[in-house]
Amino acid sequence: MLTQAQIDGVIAFHGHHCPGLAFGIRAAEWAFREFGRAEDEEIVAVVESDMCAVDAIQFLNGCTFGKGNFVFLDYGKNAFSFFRRSDGKNARLVLRGGLLSDLREQEKALLPDDLEGRDRIRRLMIDRIMAMDFDEIFIVGPAQIPMPEKARIHQSIQCDQCGEGVMATRILNDSRQTGGRNLCVPCRK
């Protein structure tokens, strides 16, 4: 169970409290209980959307882009996979289909659709998400992808067009496309 101080920390990190963040808090709480918290790279999170929920996962589970244990797949799905490197344990949490819209419709039926009513609907939705049984929110199954590799430091190569240093894995040097020049992603467009 998370403390109020941890929840307040997530809200401060994100900047506001909203239903999306509440879903993330619930997913992060589950992962914290099942996998622990990453002090370095031992826990990996793979998120399939850039929704508000991912801030809770970063904050509570210790997974960040900088450490290389936070991976974003731009699939637009409310799905979050977790991996533990020490034993290969993994899981994928998927938000139950239609849950967010169902909650919104249930609360709208009770309140007027004005600015004050929308704010109250948002608060009611957050409270309901935080009080729901976990299994009412997420479907849990095995991860659908292999565990991401550990982060590696790559050589920097200078882009021949803009002159900026670029991670070697992001440079294109295909003589058919670049005439043998090293080009970064923006310069090759």
Count of other CB atoms within 10 angstroms of residue 101: 9
Ramachandran region of residue 64, left (φ > 0), alpha (ψ -120 to 50) or beta? beta
pLDDT-based confidence at 30, cuts 50/70/90?
very high
Residue 110 above 70 pLDDT?
Answer: no
Between residues 109 and 26, which one has the greater pLDDT?
26
89, 133: one domain: yes
Mean pLDDT of the chain: 90
Q: What is the residue type of 82?
A: F
Compute the residue count for the chain.
189
CATH of the domain at 99: 3.30.1330.130
Is 150 strand, coil or helix?
Answer: coil
Residue 33 above 80 pLDDT?
Answer: yes
74, 41: one domain: yes
Residue 178: both structure tokens together:
């670049």
What pLDDT, on the 0 to 100 scale, is given for residue 19? 92
Residue 146 lies in a domain: no
Residue 80 lies in a domain: yes
20, 47: one domain: yes
pTM here is 0.85
For residues 186 and 189, give the distance between their C-alpha atoms in angstroms, rounded to a whole number: 6
Residue among 43, 58, 66, 53 nearest 148 (CA) = 43
Q: Give how many domains the chain has, as a whole number.
A: 2
51, 130: one domain: yes
pLDDT-based confidence at 21, cuts 50/70/90?
very high
50, 134: one domain: yes
65, 93: one domain: yes
What pLDDT, on the 0 to 100 scale, is given for residue 111? 64
Q: Which domain holds residue 176?
A: 156-188
Residue 154 above 90 pLDDT?
Answer: no
176, 130: one domain: no
